[in-house]
Amino acid sequence: MYKNQLCAGWPVVALCSALLFTACTSSEKKTGATQTALTAVAKPRQVALEDFFKQPERSRYRISPDGKMLCYMAPWKNRQNIYVMPVGSTDSATRITSETERNYSSYDWASPDRIVFEKDFGGDENFHIFSVKSDGSQLKDLTPFKGVRAGIVNDLRDDDAHLLISMNKRNPEEFDVYKLNINDGKLTLVAQNPGSAENWMIDHEGNVRGCLQSDGVNQTMLFRDGASGPFRKLYTINFKDQVAFAGFTPDNKNIYVTSNRGRDKTAVFEFDTKTAKEGKLIYENPDVDVTSVSYSEEDKKLISVGYETDKMHEEFLDPAYAQTDKDIKAKTGADTYVTKSSDKAERKMIVQTYDDVSGGTIYLYDRDTKTATKLADRTPWIKREEMAAMKPIEYTSRDGMVIHGYLTLPVGVEPKNLPVIINPHGGPWARDGWGFNPEIQFLANRGYAVLQMNFRGSTGYGRKFWEASFKQWGLAMQDDITDGVEWLKKEGIADPNRIAIYGASYGGYATLAGVTFTPDLYACGVDYVGVSNMFTFMKTIPPYWKPFLGMMYEMAGDPVKDSALFAKVSPALHVDQIKCPLFVAQGKNDPRVNIEESNQIVDNLKKRGVSVEYMVKDNEGHGFSNQENQFDFYRAMETFLGKHMGPSATPAKKETACIPPARVQSKSDGCRA
């Protein structure tokens, strides 16, 4: 099957993930002050909150390996369940699961008549792998081990009875590779983890040929020439040098990699496993990293590479697929799309178009007949003309770095003196991208301008930009966010008295840092599963993150060696500086950001008599998955924002001017996990 692989380099710990669509599109010019001319556009109606966040009627289509069947997700009793139908059918779908507790995290066909899916329990992220026949029979938990996390490594395209999976059953901190029988759940150990290894390399025959091993700071590529035997060391490099596996060459001897070794921007190379060096340069972009590689398992070759500037772009390496790309665009009328699934022969493909003002449309594309059959609109109730454009912007930080981002302005309103939501992303070593974002559209529909910025450390902009974030939580990373606020004020877009900050995970940390270390800048804040105390955060990470603690210590700080830094940038230790109202939301079972991170900031604020609202969901983890909990959260956030800075709010006048670009706070510097 056709596969699109994200290039992550070494496994950097991510506190929050978000859906970033890939696309093929032309670049748009970015401007300093967004010159959005107001034409005769009427202010839209207030769209129901549920319309932004309710589950799609049909989504996540997948096609079976033989190209004869489709499966998709659709709501049943408020949960996404799996439906199956023949290709070409319009109304004969059969629901084959009856999930009522929690949506499935991922799923796909494992054979022509069996589907596998992953599910955790209450957001604990200890995923189990299940299988079910396409008629709904023989539903089975294949990894029924309490407290164990499993994930699919390879679908073994030539073996309909097995998958390769990783599982930390033997050691909570390490994942071994097993061959899993999808019919009866029988497990066979294929490769025992040699110690702190991830990123397993599987060749065209389904053999485990290599992995990346870490001592916490340095990474070693281990490799073997055949299906068995000991691994040999190819190289050892510091984690800042990122070499990521992207597939085997057709002869199974060498591999393709993305690498930033000896360079600033990640590029695609053929890697010589004998010399342990990057060989032929296949593709590079002078301005940004290569972020994805598409690979044909049928033809055993690279198809395309992806990179992201203001939007995602795809550069095709294969002429046949380049022609397919042109035809898909012509048949769908869309400039941007992502391939979601294909049959084994790679002749039939599920593609999903997208843009910034709709959830997109899903098509079945046939490469032989060159036809695109519409399967579903993801959000047919959304009216494009009522949604707001997401405009790429850039501004310069106080120390001269160019910060890219996106500004979404409410429709039909003059972009002047607006209430603004500052929305830093999670990760923090991730990035925001262009596309339809229900949160952003919801806020814009309620009259708020929304600024998202890819502060230093955001991925895709090269090694120097990434490394500039090291040990800068609450410092230069936060300054980049503050500088975005100052840019909006200078441009006359933001009302200085009506600026809020909202973020999830690292964005939650940035929210707390913002209201703590720049207390006169924000009217209020919304912290969603955010870190509040660097010391306690480092103590409560999941066991499978522990092998990478050394890397975390270099990137975020060491609680012992950098104790002064941690004390300085932990909002929970400086609640005496917080002036504005705060809303905190947390999942009780969060394995990444423990609930105590939220408890301590809330408890400390209440002791001081500061207004703080607190929402805890007992059946959630790192972010809310269940629809009713999402509705509760966004209703509460809408009310909170409206009360403290919405059009009807009358915020208290600031006692002092906002903090200027120089750091002048007495206890800590700066103004997301």
At 83-142, the pLDDT tens digits run 999 999 877 899 999 999 999 989 999 999 999 999 999 999 999 999 999 999 999 999
* DSSP-assigned letters across all residues of 597-630: HHHHHHHHHHHHT--EEEEEETT-BSB--SHHHH
**At 652, is the secondary structure helix, strand, or coil?**
coil
Q: How far apart are the first and last CA of the chain?
A: 34
Enumerate residues 6+ apart whose C-beta is below 8 A from 260. Answer: 9, 241, 242, 243, 266, 267, 289, 462, 463
Is the pLDDT reported for residue 603 higher than 60?
A: yes
Residue where the block lists tokens 């501004």:
395
Whether 603 is a known active-site residue: answer no
Helix (H) or strand (E) holding 467: helix 463-467
Is the pLDDT reported for residue 17 higher than 50?
A: no
196, amino acid identity: S
Is the pLDDT reported for residue 655 higher than 60?
A: no
Whether 590 is a known active-site residue: answer yes
Q: Quick one: which of 222, 267, 218 has its CA closest to 241?
A: 218
Low-confidence winner among 9-13, 369-373, 537-541 (lowest mean pLDDT): 9-13
DSSP state of 659: P
Is the pLDDT reported for residue 421 higher than 70?
A: yes
Please work out, in degrees rounded to the nearest 5, the angle formed at the alpha carbon of residue 418 by the alpha carbons of 416 and 422: 125
Cβ neighbourhood burial of 53 (10 Å; 0-12, 13-18, 19+): middle
Q: 54 falls in which pLDDT band (50, 70, 90)?
A: very high
Please work out, in degrees rounded to the nearest 5, the angle formed at the alpha carbon of residue 161 by the alpha carbons of 157 and 162: 70
Distance in angstroms (rounded) separating the CA atoms of residues 141 and 136: 14
| pLDDT at 92 (0 to 100) | 83
* DSSP-assigned letters across all residues of 237-297: EETTS-EEEEEE-TTSSSEEEEE-TTSSS-EEEEEETTTTEEEEEEE--SSS-EEEEEEET
Task: Specify the pairing of strand 494-504 against strand 418-422.
Answer: parallel
DSSP state of 654: P
Q: 609 falls in which pLDDT band (50, 70, 90)?
A: confident
Is the pLDDT reported for residue 304 higher than 90?
A: yes
Is the pLDDT reported for residue 282 higher than 50?
A: yes
Q: 1 falls in which pLDDT band (50, 70, 90)?
A: low
Do 71 and 81 meet the contact criterion of CB atoms below 8 Å apart? no
Q: 611 falls in which pLDDT band (50, 70, 90)?
A: confident
Please give the biggest Cα pair distance in the chain.
71
Is the pLDDT reported for residue 672 higher than 60?
A: no
Name the token pair of 120.
């955790």
Beta bridge partners of residue 377, listed in sequence order = 361
Peptide bond into 647 cis (omega under 30): no
- Cα atoms in the 13 Å half-sphere on the side-chain side of 5: 26
Active-site residue (options: 214, 458, 505, 532): 505
Distance in angstroms (rounded) separating the CA atoms of residues 479 and 291: 26
Q: Quick one: which of 184, 193, 182 has its CA closest to 152?
A: 182
Backbone dihedral angles phi then psi of residue 448, each to the nearest 5 degrees: -95, 140
149, amino acid identity: R
Low-confidence winner among 2-11, 12-21, 317-326, 380-389 (lowest mean pLDDT): 12-21
Is the pLDDT reported for residue 22 higher than 50?
A: no
**At 594, is the secondary structure helix, strand, or coil?**
coil
Model pTM score: 0.89
Is the pLDDT reported for residue 192 higher than 90?
A: yes
Mean pLDDT of 41-68: 94
Backbone dihedral angles phi then psi of residue 31, each to the nearest 5 degrees: -120, 160
Enumerate residues 6+ apart whose C-beta is below 8 A from 496. Answer: 489, 654, 658
Sign of the dihedral through C-alpha 496, 501, 506, 510: positive
Distance in angstroms (rounded) separating the CA atoms of residues 134 and 97: 10
pLDDT digits (tens, 9 = 90+) for 379-394: 999 999 999 999 999 9
Mean pLDDT of 21-28: 32
Q: Quick one: which of 231, 237, 131, 125 has its CA closest to 180?
A: 131
Distance in angstroms (rounded) separating the CA atoms of residues 347 and 365: 8
Distance in angstroms (rounded) separating the CA atoms of residues 515 and 522: 6
Q: 465 falls in which pLDDT band (50, 70, 90)?
A: very high
Distance in angstroms (rounded) separating the CA atoms of residues 235 and 201: 15
CA–centroid distance for 254 within its chain: 30
| pLDDT at 15 (0 to 100) | 56
Q: How many residues does the chain have?
A: 673
Q: Report the interhelical angle of 506-517 vs 476-490 (nearest 10°).
A: 70
Name the token pair of 602.
């809330």
| pLDDT at 668 (0 to 100) | 27
Q: Quick one: which of 498, 491, 539, 501 has its CA closest to 650?
A: 498
Q: 486 falls in which pLDDT band (50, 70, 90)?
A: very high
Is the pLDDT reported for residue 664 higher than 90?
A: no
Beta bridge partners of residue 504, listed in sequence order = 528
Do 593 and 15 meet the contact criterion of CB atoms below 8 Å apart? yes
Edge-to-edge strand order for the sheet containing 582-587?
Answer: 390-396, 402-408, 449-454, 418-422, 494-504, 524-528, 582-587, 612-617
Name the token pair of 524.
């209020």
Whole-number percent of the chain with pLDDT over 90:
86
| pLDDT at 5 (0 to 100) | 56
Helix (H) or strand (E) holding 179: strand 174-181
Distance in angstroms (rounded) separating the CA atoms of residues 159 and 163: 8
Distance in angstroms (rounded) separating the CA atoms of residues 357 and 361: 12
Is the pLDDT reported for residue 321 higher than 70?
A: yes
Name the token pair of 515.
């209201």
Please work out, in degrees rounded to the nearest 5, the angle formed at the alpha carbon of residue 445 by the alpha carbons of 384 and 412: 75
Q: Quick one: which of 241, 191, 243 has its CA closest to 212?
A: 243
Is the pLDDT reported for residue 660 higher than 80?
A: no
Q: Which residue has the higher pLDDT, 19 or 512?
A: 512
Active-site residue (options: 622, 625, 644, 669): 622
534, amino acid identity: M
Q: 669 falls in which pLDDT band (50, 70, 90)?
A: very low
Low-confidence winner among 17-26, 106-115, 608-617 (lowest mean pLDDT): 17-26
Is the pLDDT reported for residue 525 higher than 50?
A: yes
Domains of the chain: 56-193 (2.120.10.30), 413-645 (3.40.50.1820)
Active-site residue (options: 377, 590, 625, 668): 590
Cβ neighbourhood burial of 588 (10 Å; 0-12, 13-18, 19+): middle
Backbone dihedral angles phi then psi of residue 155, each to the nearest 5 degrees: -85, 0
Whether 469 is a known active-site residue: answer no
Is the pLDDT reported for residue 662 higher than 90?
A: no
